């Protein structure tokens, strides 16, 4: 979510004994669902309030995540917090508050689309999203990006970039748009050139490249709902979920924290 592939592509099986992940899978499966978790550069802008410093529901969610609580416990804390969404159900349209670099701190159902994110530390890579000006600098005007780096990938960063627009029916929902581009390069700001690994001009083409079923290839475009968005800078939280599209990733839930 996002010098990378100047090095040979990583085969997880060469790093983690017993793993059975091919060269292709190590690259494309890392992001097979990631096109559903990208954010737009354009849309209405307003200032979203920051969460109160003493908000107990927020503190309870972060405590559950940091303590390694079960999925059911974390999901119950998410349910309580999204009722207090500072963006008032307009999270997808708040481009200024979405802009920046976001770190994935918790996800539900990651094993459905990315075996790399299910690896134990120190093998599991970190996942980031890049929105607004930082995405423009890295992947071009009008695009957004996600990156994976570290763990079995080492200093290489995998980048997935895509288009996304605010739904005309719901200002909390992003409609994910092609083309989808998987690249390898350096960390954000490194100025290391990226090399394109996969480029797809449609959802069906991208899903086929990720060995999705015929049913998945025929499924509608992905929709990504922002259920909770805080304003402010470093440390702001965002919660989102996939509501429609590739059946493998529908129902995924993500908690991101802004780094910058």
Alpha carbon distance 96, 47 (integer Å): 8
Asked if residue 66 is part of any domain, the answer here is: no
Q: State residue 212's pLDDT score.
A: 85
Burial zone of 52 (CB within 10 Å; 0-12 exposed, 13-18 middle, 19+ buried): exposed
Mean pLDDT of 8-23: 36
pLDDT at 1 over 70: no
58 located within any domain: no
Q: Residue 160 pLDDT more than 50? A: yes
- Domain count of the fold of the chain: 1
Confidence check: pLDDT of 44 > 60 = no
Across 104-116, average pLDDT:
82
Q: 16 pLDDT band (50/70/90 cuts)?
A: very low
Q: Is residue 149 part of a domain?
A: yes
The answer to whether residue 203 is domain-embedded is: yes
When pLDDT is cut at 50, 70 and 90, the band that residue 113 belongs to is: low
CA–CA separation, 37 vs 245, rounded Å? Answer: 12
Owning domain of residue 148: 12-51+86-258
3 state DSSP class of 150: coil
How confident is the model at residue 241, as a pLDDT?
Answer: 95
The CB density around residue 71, as the number of other CB atoms within 10 Å, is 13
Please say if the pLDDT value at position 27 is more than 60.
no
The residue ranking higher by pLDDT, 17 or 141, is 141
Tens digit of each residue's pLDDT (9 = 90 or more) over 45-95? 458 999 988 899 999 999 999 999 999 999 999 999 999 999 999 999 999
Q: Which residue has the higher pLDDT, 13 or 136?
A: 136
Return the pLDDT at 28.
Answer: 42
**Whether residue 40 has pLDDT greater than 50:** no
**Domain of residue 138, CATH code:** 2.40.128
Which pLDDT band, with edges at 50, 70 and 90, does 154 fall under? Answer: very high
Better pLDDT: 42 or 101: 101
Helix (H) or strand (E) holding 80: helix 71-82
Rounded (5°) CA angle 241-227-140? 70
Q: 72 in a domain, yes or no?
A: no
- CA distances (Å), origin 27, targets 33, 105, 148, 160, 178: 12, 22, 10, 11, 19
Tens digit of pLDDT for each residue in 186-219?
A: 999 999 999 999 999 999 998 888 888 899 899 9
- How confident is the model at residue 63, as a pLDDT? 98
Residue 164: the pLDDT is: 82
Residue 122 lies in a domain: yes
Region 25-49 average pLDDT: 50
Could you tell me if residue 45 is inside a domain?
yes
| Structure confidence at residue 259 as a pLDDT band (50, 70, 90) | very high
Average pLDDT, the chain: 83
């Amino acid at each position: 979510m996002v010098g990378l592939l100047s090095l040979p592509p990583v085969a997880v099986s060469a790093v983690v004994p017993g793993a059975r992940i091919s060269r292709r899978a190590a690259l494309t499966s890392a992001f097979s669902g990631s096109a559903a978790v990208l954010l737009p550069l354009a849309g209405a802008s307003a200032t979203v309030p920051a969460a109160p410093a003493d908000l107990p529901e927020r503190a309870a969610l972060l405590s559950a995540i940091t303590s390694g609580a079960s999925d059911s416990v974390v999901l119950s804390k998410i349910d309580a917090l999204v009722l207090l969404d500072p963006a008032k159900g307009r999270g997808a349209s708040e481009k200024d508050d979405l802009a920046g670099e976001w770190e994935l701190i918790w996800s539900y159902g990651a094993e459905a689309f990315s075996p790399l994110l299910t690896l134990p530390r120190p093998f599991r890579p970190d996942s980031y999203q890049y929105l607004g000006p930082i995405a423009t600098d890295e992947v071009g005007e009008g695009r957004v990006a996600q990156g994976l780096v570290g763990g079995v990938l080492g200093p290489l960063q995998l980048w997935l970039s895509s288009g996304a627009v605010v739904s005309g029916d719901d200002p909390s929902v992003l409609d994910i748009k092609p083309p989808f581009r998987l690249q390898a390069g350096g960390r954000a700001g490194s100025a290391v050139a990226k090399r394109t690994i996969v480029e797809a001009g449609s959802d069906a083409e991208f899903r086929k490249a990720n060995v999705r079923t015929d049913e998945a290839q025929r499924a509608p475009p992905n929709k990504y709902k922002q259920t909770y968005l805080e304003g402010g800078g470093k440390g702001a939280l965002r919660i989102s979920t996939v509501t429609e599209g590739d059946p493998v990733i529908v129902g995924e839930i993500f908690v991101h924290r802004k780094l910058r």
